[in-house]
Structure 1
Amino acid sequence: MSLELQQLSVSYGARTVLQSVDCAALNPGKLIALVGANGAGKSSLLRAIAGMTPMQGQVLLDGEPLHRMRAAARARKVAYMPQSLPQTSSLTVYESVLGALRIASPHMGHQETHARVATVLQDLGIGGLAMHRLDILSGGQRQMAGLAQLLVRQPRLLLLDEPTSALDLRWQLCLLDTLASHVALRETVCLMAVHDLNLATRFCDEMLVMAAGRLIARGEPAVILTPELLKQTYGIVARVETCSLGTPIVIAEQALPHDSLD
């Protein structure tokens, strides 16, 4: 039971943005960070897996090619959250989450439907926003509501593109704590693009590192994060220390000149 990528490539016209990405057995129940510099291909990879952009190669979920699934079955199994915030709407948070669940599971009973919505809002700490309209929420609150719309569906595969980008420090921790618990409990496969390496090393069990449209490293953050990898990936001089929790901390010290990276 896992997610596998086989020779996944994506091109926009003459420009190739993903080049033969292979990745075996991304296992369920853990947070998996997708990291790399701007333009490395992280968002393109998530969109390709989600079926939102043309690609070559195969994406297998529990051994089944995603591109062969019917649209309804794929929508039940795969949930994608883009970088952009959920659109403003006159719907309340509760109505938007309820609508997402009814679309994904139209035959679910009334009582179970409402119980699941209430549980997700409570778990994310946004129960107090349930009756607030989306168009009066802050960006961070809309981001939390958008995640609630995904989690309530209990998909097999979660694809999240910078889910903490609009959140302050407290809400970043709240979101990732809740997400980790949900993924472990539901045995979900979760691939999450993250810019903040220190958040990734704290909450994620495994890390995929991308550069120039290729997957260049994979493993536990404490194992693969080295000054050499950070130089290659981000063009920086950095140290990797260990915090009191035993997780790595990346301390960026200097940006390297472009001509030193050739």
Structure 2
Amino acid sequence: MRRATALWHIDPDDPRAPTVEVWEQLTPEQRREIVDSLPSEFPLDEAAPPEGDPHWHPVTRARTTLDRWFQRAGRRVYVSGNLAVYYPDERVFSPDVIAVTDVETHERDRWVVTDEGKGVDFALAVIVDGRRRKDLVRNVEWFARLGIPEYFVFDRKRGSLRGFRLATSASRTYEPVIPQRGHYASRVLGLDLLVDGGKIRFYAGEAAIPDTDELIDKLGSLVDAAEQRAQDLERRLDEEIRAREEEIRAREEETRAREEAELRLAEALAEIERLRRERGGA
């Protein structure tokens, strides 16, 4: 059997997945060999320059928020980002955040469309000081041609959000997503996107989905409240124990006093009786 790499040459400077025609001619073993040969990193000319925490934080919040939401909802939605994506015979690219619906959600180091049997359904780009033309012009045309149903671009520095959607599965030109009261509806996710306080937020109906930082803060508040309740309960228990101990001591003192009084009374009665006997005898 011929080696798969001989049937499809992978250029290290421009790695690409096989064309659909070549892919259909490959055996399962040859397909796996080629997929494993595709680099999980992507060319430097395709990578955006480092933008530090202002870029990393919104990307991470979006990924973790979506991943946690779909897990809790029981939906099979694969959420990732900065992942090498390979469409047949296309340049590799890596959106900041991607979502693919109705697939297995296990970890991956690349997304090869022909191998997975499905392309990306949702892509999100976060701009800080990067190449706006790449995200807002080239990618809008490219992703539409690839058939990616939805593409959103969050410009953090300008506090703006833009959305693009294919009108039908056969369309290859995006239409803008028109916001309603600031909400950009994602049909793929079943959620709304909104810029709030300089951050991109996801909404389920009218309810904001909390991000990780908010959940940590909420959990911290719950822990603090639980600790305060525990301290209050411990203090009340201590007070009740002290009150019960004082009550027991008071009862014990009362019992001792009564017993002493009864003893003295008995002694007095005995003395009286003795004196009576002595008087009678005299």
* TM-score under structure 2 length normalisation: 0.25
Q: Which has the higher contact order (CA 8 A, sep 6+)?
A: 1
Between Structure 1 and Structure 2, the one with more strand by share is: 1
Between Structure 1 and Structure 2, the one with more helix by share is: 2
* TM-score under structure 1 length normalisation: 0.26
The structure with the larger Rg is 2
